[in-house]
Amino acid sequence: MKIVYNIVKSLRPYFFSLREIKEDVSLDIKIPVSWKYGDFSHSDSVPFTIKKQDQKETFTLISLIAPATVEGYEVVFKYAKSIITTNKEEEEKVKLFNKKVEELKQLFLSSPLDKLKDISFEKDVLRNTESVGEIELGDTEGSSTDRAT
């Protein structure tokens, strides 16, 4: 039972219920109404469906449905974790974006025009041509480099 508890705990506070209906497993999660849930890749060979059960002002209740087999259970739990992880990451990105926009706004308000002209932004590179150098933004952790210009 500890295994089931740990799996359900990992989905909190979004876990709603787990049911077997006929020959299927249905994992129900209650997520914020703004979250996306149908755009995730699903390469498993197990048949899998998502059904919106209910929607209120602040939440959507969805069922992740697959055959009631070991693989089916694995797929619904994996997909639920993916929905939660991806949407929480997107929320964090929005918060970070808003914070950085505010920092940039403050920089523009407090810096002289000639200094601001030296700042440039390029895809995968953030550069301050005068003082900071060039920083490559890599795809993997630890791949950033700092080079003087």
Q: What is the DSSP string of 60-71?
A: EEEEEEEESSHH
Tell me how many degrees the CA angle 1-80-24 measures, rounded to the nearest 5.
70
40 has pLDDT over 90: no
Q: What percent of the chain has pLDDT over 70?
A: 79
Q: How far is CA 36 from the centre of its chain?
A: 10
The whole-angstrom separation of Cα 105 and Cα 86 is 28
46 has pLDDT over 80: yes
Residues in contact with 135: Cβ distance below 8 Å, sequence separation at least 6, in sequence order? 125, 126, 127, 144, 145, 146
| pLDDT confidence band for 3 (50 / 70 / 90) | confident
The structural domains of the chain, ordered by start, are 2-99 (3.30.70), 112-147 (no CATH)
The whole-angstrom separation of Cα 8 and Cα 14 is 9
| pLDDT digits 0-9 by tens, 47-100 | 889 999 999 999 999 999 999 999 999 999 999 999 999 999 999 999 999 999
| pLDDT digits 0-9 by tens, 86-140 | 999 999 999 999 999 999 999 999 999 988 888 887 777 655 555 554 445 554 4
| Nearest alpha carbon to residue 63 among 46, 73, 78, 76 | 76
**pTM > 0.75:** no
Helix orientation angle between 70-110 and 2-11, rounded to the nearest 10 degrees: 30
